[in-house]
Amino acid sequence: MKKNFITGLLVLVPLFITVWVLSTLIGVMDQSLLLLPVEWRPEAQLGRTVPGIGAILTLLIILFTGVIATNFFGKRLLAVWEAMLARVPVVKSIYSSVKQVSDTLFSDSGNAFRKALLVQYPRQGSWTIAFLTGRPGGDVANHLKGDYVSVYVPTTPNPTSGFFLMMHQADVIELHMSVDEALKYIISMGVVAPAVPHTLEHDPGVDATSDA
């Protein structure tokens, strides 16, 4: 009885969470309908609310914005818009910071998480997965003697929050796993472990756990 109950939970919980996340996301995206005149909204045209129409509208707005921003006229218009925002003190700081992060995370050339690493955190002898994000810059680099790297240590099961650290190159171990595999490992709280790399499985001289 207990085994069947747990099996049922393992089947239904991921399904319910997936449905909840999707319904929440669609509900948020449906708010874009508020941009339309009242007489154009589904409840006025069809007499009832139709979930998902706003999500489609949101996707179309994003696509249309991307089309405009990639042509010559759109680039000039975007440059003027950003120049206007740069003149507003508080807005300038917020917009520029968010734009730098979004460009890094979502652009095709972005490299937010470059490599999966194994680091000792929060103390010696305690290991966790981190991501290489670059190298220290600005005046920070002038105060760090030696070869340092910038790493992001995510929390689990929500990797969007975490800690930014600057660690010596010798204190980090590059893992033979992709960033996607490492993220799945973190989100699952260590339950969904990546497969051992093929080169490590068949090389008797390499111990896959020796680094840890």
pLDDT of residue 192: 82
Residue ranges per structural domain of the chain: 16-106, 115-201
Q: How many CA atoms lie within 13 A of 79 on its CB side?
A: 7
Could you give the CA distance from residue 199 to residue 176 in angstroms, rounded to a whole number?
9
Which tops the pLDDT comparison, 52 or 101?
Answer: 52
The confidence band for 187, taking pLDDT boundaries of 50, 70 and 90, is confident
Domain 115-201: CATH architecture, name and number where available: Roll (2.30)
Residues 139-163, mean pLDDT to the nearest whole number: 89
Q: Which of 65, 82, 83 is nearest to 74 (CA)?
A: 65
Q: Which of 197, 179, 184, 168 is nearest to 131 (CA)?
A: 179
pLDDT at 205 over 50: no
**C-beta of residue 206 within 8 angstroms of C-beta of residue 150:** no
**Is 177 buried (19+), middle (13-18) or exposed (0-12) by CB count in 10 A?**
buried
Question: Which residues, in sequence order, are CB contacts of 74 under 8 Å at separation 6+?
Answer: 67, 68
- Record the tokens describing residue 104, joined without a space: 């890094």
Q: Does the predicted TM-score (pTM) go above 0.85?
A: no
Percent pLDDT > 70 in the chain is: 86
Computed on alpha carbons and rounded to an integer, the radius of gyration of the chain in Å comes to 24
Q: Where are the beta strands (DSSP E) in the chain?
A: 115-120, 127-134, 148-154, 162-168, 172-174
- Local structure of 7: helix, strand or coil: helix
Phi, psi angle pair for 131, to nearest 5°: -125, 135
Q: Tell me: the pLDDT tens digits for 71-101?
A: 878 888 888 888 888 888 888 888 877 776 6
Cα angle 27, 31, 33 (rounded to 5 degrees) comes to 125
Residues 51-55, mean pLDDT to the nearest whole number: 86
| Contacts made by residues 47-52, CB under 8 angstroms, sequence distance 24+ | 51/23, 51/26, 51/27, 52/26
